[in-house]
Amino acid sequence: MTTNELKPFSIDIPQSTLDDLKGRLTQTRLPAPLPGDDWDSGVPVSWLSGLVDYWRDEYDWRAIEKQLNDYPQYTTVIDGQQIHFLHVRSAEADALPLLLTHGWPGSIAEFLDVIGPLTDPVAYGGDAADAFHLVIPSLPGFGFSGPVQESGWSTNRVARTWAELMNRLGYQRYGVQGGDIGAAVSPEVGRADRERVVGVHVNGSPGLPPMNLPAEERATLTDLEQDRLARIDAFMREEFGYIAIQSTRPQTLGYALVDSPVGQLAWIMDKFREWTHPRTTLPDAIIDRDRLLTNVMIYWLTGTAGSAAYVGYAQQQPWGATKENSGVPTGVLVFAHDVGIRRYAERENTITRWTDVDRGGHFAALEEPELLTADIREFFRSLR
């Protein structure tokens, strides 16, 4: 039965589950390395085996569990689906509520390094006037919001769910922010709840350019835009396979990922290597190993690899379909790895701030938390 109740939630993984994981890691059967054992054919055995050893022998889930439980967490049922979220209020009474949405293969763990600076800016050398109350939900089908009970979890449906969540929390004015799937959901929240959303901020882009641009239109692009379009073309040729699998056979893939922790680890680490910046640097040299493994653990412990794939890629609107412009002010932070092109994003978004930077990758809150925090503060400063 659906109610408006917000239930306090605490992560409490049974020890038997952790013992089972360690046993599986101990009994890992790694494949033989392919010729060269490099990233061209996937995650190298030589690199992943070291991460598996660390996961088995040194990673401390209980310490991470305690860290996560230090933040107030709740669950509620909206549109028939359990929704899990962190709700971290600032000590500043006039802080602006801000809804943060993660992506795939991410989780609420993406935002751990920005919670402090956003809720308590003074403690991090900032201004109290820039404080936020944070609401950080797990996407339907992901982590402790999974698995999904119904089909049809489009970005628009998620956005309507987020609007209802903010209503239940009593917030009449709020901002939204996100990357990856969060960059698709956040503008939809602006469309679904435009009377209450004061601003939309995304890292990456709130939309992609149309496919198969005519040669004459390509010729009008700047060098930076040409580079981004070329990288989209390369992605479609060389990396689209995971989307094809997740959007057509998420259940079949789920058997492997939910049953094998190393399979789950490799599937996610492949994307962290491809999408962090610079690409030639190993992902655990850019993002702390414990944070990488915590993100994987949230998928593993909840058994939501198939559910997350189903929601993330099986329910999306066709590429290039134009959406209504909500009129909500929108800020975009484009990192070096990202491929956002302003002229196309402006077709369905009211862009009031667009910032290109020459560093950072897809996982903004993990790779460049200080830069992301600064841009969020600056964007919302005039909208409070």
The residue ranges of every structural domain in the chain are 7-208+239-381
Looking at the predicted structure, is the pLDDT value of residue 363 above 60? Answer: yes
CA 324 to chain centre: 24
**Distance (Å, whole) CA 157 – CA 155:** 5
Task: State residue 288 phi and psi, 5-degree precision.
Answer: -55, 140
Q: Could you give the angle at which helices 241-248 and 250-259 cross, rounded to 10 degrees?
A: 100
Mean of all residue pLDDT scores within the chain: 95
Is the pLDDT at 283 greater than 90? The verdict is yes
The residue behind tokens 């996937």 is 42
Tokens representing residue 207 in the block: 């939309």
DSSP state of 73: E
Give the range among 44-48, 188-192, 207-211, 337-341 with minimum mean pLDDT.
207-211
Instruction: Say which residues have a Cβ less than 8 Å from residue 356's Cβ, sequence separation at least 6.
Output: 224, 334
The answer to whether 84 and 9 have CB atoms below 8 angstroms apart is yes
Please report the DSSP string for 162-215 in residue order. Answer: HHHHHHHTT-SSEEEEEETHHHHHHHHHHHHTTTTEEEEEEES-SS-PPSS--H
Dump pLDDT digits (tens) for 41-86: 999 999 999 999 999 999 999 999 999 999 999 999 999 999 999 9
Residues 173, 109: Cα–Cα separation, whole Å: 25
Residue 212's pLDDT band, with cuts at 50, 70 and 90, is confident
The mean per-residue pLDDT over the stretch 30-47 comes to 97
Residue 139: pLDDT band by 50, 70, 90 thresholds?
Answer: very high
Answer yes or no: is pLDDT of 238 > 50. yes
Q: Could you tell me the two tokens for 291?
A: 């944070």
CA angle 361, 297, 362 (to 5 degrees): 10
Angstrom distance (rounded) from CA 111 to CA 383: 22
Q: According to the model, what pLDDT value does residue 210 have?
A: 81
pLDDT at 248: 92
Angstrom distance (rounded) from CA 331 to CA 200 = 6
Active site residues: 180, 313, 362
245-262 mean pLDDT: 96
Percent of the chain with pLDDT over 90: 92
The share of the chain scoring above pLDDT 70, in percent, equals 97
CA–CA separation, 5 and 371 (whole Å): 36
Question: Rounded to a whole number, what is the distance in angstroms from the first to the last CA of the chain?
Answer: 37
The CA distance from 305 to 324, in Å, is 32
Average pLDDT of span 102-117:
98
pTM above 0.85, yes or no: yes
- pLDDT at site 323: 87
For 371, the token pair is: 């830069």
CATH architecture of 7-208+239-381: 3-Layer(aba) Sandwich (3.40)
- Tell me what pLDDT residue 317 has: 58
Whole-number pLDDT of residue 1: 42
Query: How many CA within 13 A on the CB side of residue 331?
Result: 22
Report H helices in the chain. Answer: 15-26, 45-57, 61-69, 112-119, 155-168, 181-192, 215-218, 223-238, 241-248, 250-259, 261-275, 283-286, 289-302, 305-313, 342-345, 364-367, 369-381
Whether the pLDDT of residue 271 is over 70: the answer is: yes
